[in-house]
Amino acid sequence: MKIYCGLLLLLTMLANPSFSSRRRRVGDGDEHFFRGKLFYHHHNSLGSTLETQASPIGDPEKVQTLWYDQTLDHFTPSDTRTWRQRYNVNDQFYKSGGPIFLMISGEGGATDIWMSNGAWITYAKELNALCFQVEHRFYGKSHPTPDLSLESLRYLSSQQALADLASFTKAMKDTFNLTSNKWVAFGGSYPGSLAAWYRLKYPHLVDVVVSTSAPLLAQLNFKDYLGAVRDSIDVTNLQCNQQIQKAVKSTQRLLRSRTGWSMIRKNFKLCDDFDGSNKKDVASLFETLAGNFQNIVQYNINNCYFEGSKTANITIKTLCDIMVPNDAKSTAFERFAKVNDLMLNAYGRNCTNFKYLKSVRDLQQTNWKSNAAFGERQWTYQTCNEFGFFQSSDLIDQPFGNLFSLKYSVRLCEDVYGKIYDQDFIENAIEWSNTFYGARDLKVSRVIFVNGSIDPWHKLGITSQNQTSSENVVIFINGTAHCANMYPDAPSDIPALKAARQQILNQLTEWLST
Q: Which string of DSSP letters, residue by residue, matches 85-134?
A: EEEEEE-TT--TT--EEEEEP-SS---GGGGS-SHHHHHHHHHT-EEEEE
Q: Are residues 310 and 211 located together in one domain of the fold? A: no
Q: Are residues 329 and 394 located together in one domain of the fold? A: yes
Q: What is the pLDDT of residue 101?
A: 98
- Domain membership of residue 487 (yes or no) is yes
Give the Cα separation of 63 and 275 in Å (integer). 52
Q: What is the pLDDT of residue 329?
A: 87
Q: Are residues 64 and 115 located together in one domain of the fold? A: yes
Q: Are residues 242 and 210 located together in one domain of the fold? A: no
Contacts from 151-155 at CB under 8 Å and sequence distance 24+?
Answer: 152/366, 153/378, 153/381, 153/385, 155/72, 155/73
Q: What is the pLDDT of residue 325?
A: 87
Q: Are residues 159 and 265 located together in one domain of the fold? A: no
Q: What is the pLDDT of residue 514?
A: 87
- Domain membership of residue 349 (yes or no) is yes
Q: CB-based contacts of 120: which residues, under 8 Å, 6+ apart?
A: 101, 103, 114, 131, 186, 210, 486
What is the per-residue DSSP string for 289-357?
HHHHHHHHHHHGGGGGGBTT-TTTT--HHHHHHHHS-SS-SS-HHHHHHHHHHHHHHHHT-SSB---HH
Q: For 225-280, where are the E strands, in sequence order?
A: none
CATH code of residue 392? 1.20.120.980
- Domain membership of residue 470 (yes or no) is yes
Q: Are residues 196 and 238 located together in one domain of the fold? A: no
Give the Cα separation of 452 and 480 in Å (integer). 5
DSSP state of 50: B
Low-confidence ranges of the chain (pLDDT < 70): 1-55, 302-312
- Domain membership of residue 476 (yes or no) is yes
CATH code of residue 451? 3.40.50.1820
Q: Are residues 394 and 476 located together in one domain of the fold? A: no
- Domain membership of residue 408 (yes or no) is yes
Q: Are residues 319 and 230 located together in one domain of the fold? A: yes
Cβ 191 vs Cβ 105: under 8 Å: yes
Number of C-beta neighbours around residue 147 at 10 A? 14
- Domain membership of residue 146 (yes or no) is yes
| 3 state SS of 161 | helix
| 3 state SS of 179 | coil
Q: What is the pLDDT of residue 303?
A: 46
Give the Cα separation of 100 and 184 in Å (integer). 6
Q: Are residues 250 and 212 located together in one domain of the fold? A: no
Q: Are residues 178 and 226 located together in one domain of the fold? A: no
Q: What is the pLDDT of residue 261?
A: 98
- Domain membership of residue 327 (yes or no) is yes
Give the Cα separation of 28 and 49 in Å (integer). 9
Q: Are residues 448 and 358 located together in one domain of the fold? A: no
Domain termination residue (choose one: 363, 385, 418): 418
**β-sheet with 183-188: strand ranges across:** 64-71, 82-90, 130-134, 100-104, 183-188, 208-212, 447-452, 473-477
- Domain membership of residue 433 (yes or no) is no
217: Cα separation from own chain's centroid? 16
Q: Are residues 333 and 233 located together in one domain of the fold? A: yes
Look at the chain and report how many structural domains it folds into.
2
Angle subtended by helix axes 224-236 and 279-299, to nearest 10: 50
Which residues are designated catalytic?
189, 455, 482
Q: Residue 284 belongs to what domain range?
A: 220-418
